[in-house]
A and B are shown apart, each in its own frame.
Chain A
Amino acid sequence: MALLSVRDLTHTYPNGFQALKGVSFDVEAGEFLVVIGLSGSGKSTLLRCINRLIEPTSGTITFDSADVTHITSNALRAHRAQIGMIFQHFNLIPRHNVLNNVMYGALGYTPTFASLVGKFSDELHARALDALRVVGIAEKSSVRADTLSGGQQQRVAIARALMQHPRMLLADEPVASLDPSTSHSVMSYLDRINKDMNTTVICNLHFLSLVRQYATRVVALKAGELVFNGSPHEITEEWFATIYGEDAVEVEIR
């Protein structure tokens, strides 16, 4: 049984816009799945349905054999806690230091009152430092998060996600605001987490060169529909034209 199974997923925003129109695919444990598609094709919407930041309009999402499509309250938080997420704009808490930012990854497992008064256990401190070591930025642990460079912030965000001991990592255009070499560094951390820790990764990307280098499988969305599901080297020129439109030209990032 696949770790994640998405069936006939649709999502309609409150303004009536249908961002996903019956998307189905499976993700096996250990895969590095990349989602591609034009801007506005529904990639972010898809990721947010998976960890249920938004609720699907119809269809089903099954994670680890449990139907999570419409779960609420405790079940919902437990589901989210198993899945780490990183974002294009890092979304760290400004003014708070790096170590605290990383520890917030464990909020889903921390009693409310203890967390609100800032009582994080020694074990959490140690784990947060470990997570920072994984992304090679432990020396910045006491620095304010908003003083770091973009690449550093994204590594802190990855450490925050690792704090969840995630079964799966969702990455929504994690390198879209970074320069090419920083992009590769961030992608290689995701790659290492995928290979070494056997964490399943689903990642939205725009650059096909990155897709070819890191993806074990690719799905493509076009106007809310799944139009491609296969291995990265199957994306021929024809597929490229189908996914991105006839006039698109491939841009390289090295």
Chain B
Amino acid sequence: MLDVQGLNKAFGGLRAVRDIDASFERGKITAIIGPNGAGKTTFFNLVAGAIRPTSGRILLKGEEMTGLRADLIARRGVARTFQTTALFDHASVLDNLIVGHRLRTRSGFWDALIGSGRLAAEERECRRKAEEALDFVGLSHIGNRLAADVSQDERKRIAFALALTTEPELLLADEPAGGVNPDETNGLAALMRKIVATGVTLILIEHKMRMVMELADKIIVLDHGEKIADGTPQDIRSHQRVIDAYLGADHAAAH
């Protein structure tokens, strides 16, 4: 599905991502783990086209997409959720989701001006997609609620719903279970399984190791921008450098 080759990103002197080679299989869940500042989000930013790599290649389904603008990459079927989702707080949840399907529509200014049939049809389609996605994540009952009034868990689900309205083939989820309680974490894990069951390929960044171990088919470990290990959850559990990196991180965090 996704292949990256020799990917590098430097911010001034800081090499946030170094020489990463990796491939991500269709329909599988790959988790990216690593201590804070390891370059995980930067890796997502590169794949999603939010920033350009310093060097290296990114291939989606074998097609070159290095250096493509983020919106064009989204159109090719790559969606993402952010560490914090910037919802428009003063609109309803459903209103927040309707624009998600915009990239699959073609109406522009002139359609709006004359009130074209195409626009009306596309607006219905966007609304239907939004409702469908909301239903999929189990939140159809809060469609009218203001986004400002939703809980943290609901916010995380809305982020997934928004990503789903773009009809992605590849979904990048950045800490989807950050800041929610253990019960809700299980709920979100179930949601991610459900998403993958529809044929979507999922890459997630996550700190909650229990969830990662249960969910992921494959794990990639980053540290200081480098890939220090990859493999199945079993492989990773016993990997010495991973244990070191994490112990180091825990050690640092304790201070």
The answer to whether A and B belong to the same complex is no
Question: Chain A residues in contact with chain B, CB under 8 A?
Answer: none
